[in-house]
Structure 1
Amino acid sequence: MANFDENILLSQRVDLSNEQAIESQVLRIAVYDEFKAYESYSKIIEKFGAIHPFVNIKEAEAVHYSALMPLLQKYNVEVPINDWADKIEVPNTYIECCELGVASEINNIAMYDDLIANTKQPDIKDILFKLQAASYNNHLPAFRKCVLNHYNGVNQATNLNSVEEMMNKASEYQMLLEDIASGNMDQNKISELFNKLNISMISGAGFGAALVAFLNSYTQTNKE
């Protein structure tokens, strides 16, 4: 059985043209995304064992969707079907899992920006702000640290030069950068950014560290 509003749930954005009530969209999108995070990190733990930071963040995701449940009950909103178990593909390596965590938390933060902007209910806004803060202040830094620790000391000069060049030229590619920072993360857009900046596509450690450092820096600037 599929969710009746699957397209909206997967988009992670409120559809103002849809007849579904805004509060229903907001709450169902939030819960569905927290389900996704919980199931993703659970499957990573199943594959690689009780590794950090996934163990702690998995438990935090359970707290997150549990915090939303009273609001669904209050506003008479049906809980979305958690159908993520069959949709999730776990990466092949630990570092790829950490990189997935970085991208997922950036998307989550951007999702909450949209949900907060589209709800007028103070109690819903309050919970959404708290959940977004947890992702921004706790989850994203934990995954970023995981990635940077893995790449520490590898191609540092190249990484720093790449990040500096990207930041210096950021204004030239504002639309593409805003698209990435808004949470529309995919490898094609990231590759396009690097190609536009005329930076050599360094593989493995160099690319990973430069990309994570840049995205974190740009997200920080965008958030402020």
Structure 2
Amino acid sequence: MASKRLFASVIIAAGILAGPVNAASTLPEPVQEALVTALEDEYHAEAFYDAVMEKFGSVRPFSNIIRAEQLHQQALITIMKQYGMDIPANSQLNSAEIRAAVPATLPEACSIGVKAEIDNAGLYTEKLMPAVKDYADITLVFKNLSDASQLKHLPAFQRCAG
């Protein structure tokens, strides 16, 4: 429920429902790359969490956080469409490489989740946010997604990892 509220607030606060803002051809390449990178990061998280649940069943926190990752993807896809960008498919779902990365135990999988959320913070802080600093709507979406990862996902994985 909180994830749905976050998605709704991201969409409303960013003004995304107002119609197209700019064509992708006018959006600088670094901004487009930042959006695609953010979406691919969300895709990777969904694929890994899906693989974990394939191995261990629909267990928390993975069952909750995968839904949040899908909402994060929708927020990014919405703003990318707003700017007329093409949306890449999630080619990572069901990949053999990601399935092979699932460890033997659930606490180990949660430890990987902890690392992924910490890495996610660095990605947003060091690379993505600086690339979109001139775009308040995209910055807001990125900030909300980063905050959700750090304030909700990271603590859940830390509890699970023990």
TM-score range, shorter chain: 0.7 to 0.9
One-letter code aligned to 1:34: E
Question: Residue in 2 aligned with 1:80?
Answer: 88
Question: Residue in 2 aligned with 1:141?
Answer: 155
Do the aligned partners of 1:37 and 1:61 also contact (CA within 8 Å) in 2?
yes
Question: Residue in 2 aligned with 1:101?
Answer: 113
Q: After superposition, what is the alpha-carbon deviation per residue over 1:110-131, rounded to whole angstroms, capped at 9, x for unaligned?
A: 1111211111111000000000
Question: Residue in 1 aligned with 2:29?
Answer: 21
Find the residue that maps to 1:79 and give its secondary structure.
coil
Do the aligned partners of 1:23 and 1:75 also contact (CA within 8 Å) in 2?
no
State the Cα RMSD in Å: 1.2
Matches within 5 A, 1:37-186: 37-84=45-92, 85-86=94-95, 87-88=97-98, 89-113=101-125, 114-119=127-132, 120-148=134-162
Worse-superposed segment, 65-74 or 76-85: 76-85
Q: Quick check: which has more Rg, 1 or 2?
A: 1
Question: Residue in 2 aligned with 1:151?
Answer: none
- Which 4+ residue blocks in structure 1 deviate beyond 2 angstroms? none
Q: How many residues align?
A: 129
Q: After superposition, what is the alpha-carbon deviation per residue over 1:120-151, rounded to whole angstroms, capped at 9, x for unaligned?
A: 11100000000000001000011111122xxx
Find the residue that maps to 2:154 and give its secondary structure.
helix
Normalising by structure 1, we get a TM-score of 0.55
Task: Give how far 1:46 is off.
Answer: 0.9
Task: Give how far 1:22 is off.
Answer: 1.5
Identity %: 36
One-letter code aligned to 1:103: K
- Segments of structure 2 that go 5 or more residues without pairing to the other structure are 1-27
Normalising by structure 2, we get a TM-score of 0.76
Q: After superposition, what is the alpha-carbon deviation per residue over 1:175-211, rounded to whole angstroms, capped at 9, x for unaligned?
A: xxxxxxxxxxxxxxxxxxxxxxxxxxxxxxxxxxxxx
Distance in 2, Cα, partners of 1:82 & 1:51: 22
Question: Residue in 2 aligned with 1:159?
Answer: none
Do the aligned partners of 1:31 and 1:65 also contact (CA within 8 Å) in 2?
yes
- Segments of structure 1 that go 5 or more residues without pairing to the other structure are 1-19, 149-224
